[in-house]
Amino acid sequence: MALLQISEPGQAPDPHQRRIAVGIDLGTTHSLVASVRNGVAECLPDDTGHIILPSVVRYLPGQGRQIGHEAVANAALDPENTLASVKRFMGRSLSDIAHPEKLPYKFVKPEGQEAASEKGMLSIQTVQGAKSPVEVSAEILATLRYRAEDTFNDDLHGAVITVPAYFDDAQRQATKDAAQMAGINVLRLINEPTAAAIAYGLDNASEGIYAVFDLGGGTFDISILRLTRGVFEVMATGGDSALGGDDYDHALADAALASMGLADVQAGFSAEDKTRLKAAARAAKEALTAASDVSLVWSDAAQSHEVKVTRSQFNEATSELTARCMSAVKKALRDAKIKADDIQGVVMVGGSTRMPQVQEAVAAFFGKPPLNNLNPDEVVALGAAIQANQLAGNDSAGDLLLLDVIPLSLGIETMGGLVERIIPRNQTIPTAMAQDFTTYQDGQTALALHVLQGERDLVADCRSLARFELRGIPPMAAGAARIRVTFTVDADGLLSVAAKEQISGVEAKIDVKPSYGLSDTQIAQMLQDSFSTAEVDMKARALVEARVDGDRMLLATQSALNADGQLLSSEDRAEIDSLMLALRHTIDTSQEAQAVEDATQALAHATEGFAAERMNHSIQKALSGQNIQSL
């Protein structure tokens, strides 16, 4: 009698064909790894039973290091070498760090740069030398990788790693670099709120519009998603990449110091003092989730301190932080063009959403209690595991479709310092969009392309991402070349730009990999400026476009005069010369688009007769020596 192979629904009969794929939530304060086992997504524990891995690495003299719980236990003893919350520094320059005096680290400038304010991702000095956030994150990811491989006793095929929705190109690339250093094949980077929606959507949610409120240890994301027949479409995203539970800890610590009369001496605290104070504030914060008042006990090098903190005092001390969360929520709803009443449910993600003031603020704003039926610490990793299982080909019956969006518009610089948007913000990714451009001058054989990110109309108001050149364009008259510029954003949110001259086929391409990222204030300011300065931008754009049109008119007229100026009478030539001078003066001095347009139209009207004379002259020249029968 033959044996039959038994397999799980949707999985290959041959167990060796199943690829080990995991979802990793690389968090600011805690990280997790999850996988689909026996058809169910579950988080994987370590050999001591811990599911959550603190995102902390302690570097020891020599080559040793401690990762996770062991590092946390010794943080107060060796704060300078115990690196925590490094996710906040991913893709960041030194100038992006707010209140570095509150952190127990010694930040160092990027190698080869002379000043701390210069761009380039920062590093932190340890006993093993300078360590970048990418290296520290790689240690954490490698630990999770080993945990997964030990669980399955097999090599890891790949992982879906989650990132905050507001991570820009630099931060996403830094995350992929960290995974590569850890020996992990990245199947995809997906946004943390979207991963949570996957977990909720498959098991709990019905079709409709949902808000995913993700407040972690160091980042806050808000995403508005539409769920329709298994399709997750991100309608809008927002948030603050430097707002999270850590900030609530600092606010509570500051309030406690103020009540003890120690606020003025905080700058003189040692690294050990700062670490103990932060740990005490976090413990008090977590206790206040269930209790109405707690004692915050903390000791510095000189003495011990104890102060009673009530929940109402904690709420007051952190009210500004909660207001920042809700302000980002309002912006996301405006971007999605919906109201709070249109939201069917609010999914809460991240351990910091357990704070009562956050729960109350969300419930009051949306008019309904938020969804809490999944563990907010684990939900992101679970959703990532479901996505990883499908991308690895283990769930052939899966019908989940994931559609993310980009946070800021992408485009290129055109003549006059204008930005031509190729991909608008909140465009679903992965995507590829293209526009055709042409040359500005006769005989132009090269084209410089400047890639930009932002919502404003002028180059000076947007962020430069990359520059490259397209060379080898055949010499042609201005406007004859056809150059197609294609922007491609992959599923990880990373950008590549290609330019191809359609006639000759010459092509150039660049993968945009900036070495540092936008700060949260820069992102928020870009979006705010795009609304508050809309009228100014429209006028500035109109003026630039008018000047470009005027310049083109001057170039075309001068070219015609050089070729056939002898066809004009002296009076007509003098009039055209005078109008050309007037147009040049208007372009150079006027700040009104209408004035430039009027001067351009005056020259165009004056040269209409000249254009007709040139056409007649060309026809007569072509017909010279011909007869009707020979044509």
* H/E segment holding residue 356: helix 356-366
> In sequence order, which residues have a C-beta less than 8 Å from that of residue 433 and are 6 or more positions away?
422, 423, 427, 486, 487
Q: How far apart are CA 388 and CA 372, in angstroms?
A: 24
Tell me how far the alpha carbon of residue 417 is from its chain's centroid: 24
CA distance to 26, 422, 495, per residue, from 488 (Å)? 26, 10, 6
Length of the chain: 631
Q: How far apart are CA 443 and CA 78, in angstroms?
A: 66
Catalytic residue, chosen from 46, 78, 80, 87, is 87
CA distance to 441, 498, 504, 510, per residue, from 445 (Å)? 9, 17, 11, 19
Catalytic residue, chosen from 78, 135, 177, 192, is 192
Q: How far apart are CA 520 and CA 25, in angstroms?
A: 21
According to DSSP, residue 351 is labeled G
Phi-psi group of 201: left, alpha or beta (phi > 0 → left; psi -120 to 50 → alpha; rest → beta): alpha
Q: How far apart are CA 214 and CA 233, in angstroms?
A: 17
According to DSSP, residue 93 is labeled B
Note if 368 is an active site residue. no
For the chain, state the CA radius of gyration. Answer: 31
Tokens 């167990």 appear where? 15
Whether the Cβ atoms of residue 55 and residue 85 lie closer than 8 Å to each other = yes
Whether the Cβ atoms of residue 435 and residue 485 lie closer than 8 Å to each other = yes
Q: Are strands 231-240 and 220-228 parallel, antiparallel or unpaired?
A: antiparallel
Q: How far apart are CA 169 and CA 493, in angstroms?
A: 7
Helix (H, G, I), strand (E, B) or coil at 483: strand
Note if 25 is an active site residue. yes
**E-strand spans in 229-282?**
231-240
Catalytic residue, chosen from 46, 80, 96, 214, is 214
Whether the Cβ atoms of residue 79 and residue 274 lie closer than 8 Å to each other = yes
Tokens of residue 340, six digits: 């709070």
Q: How far apart are CA 285 and CA 279, in angstroms?
A: 10
User: Annotated active-site positions, please?
Assistant: 25, 87, 192, 214
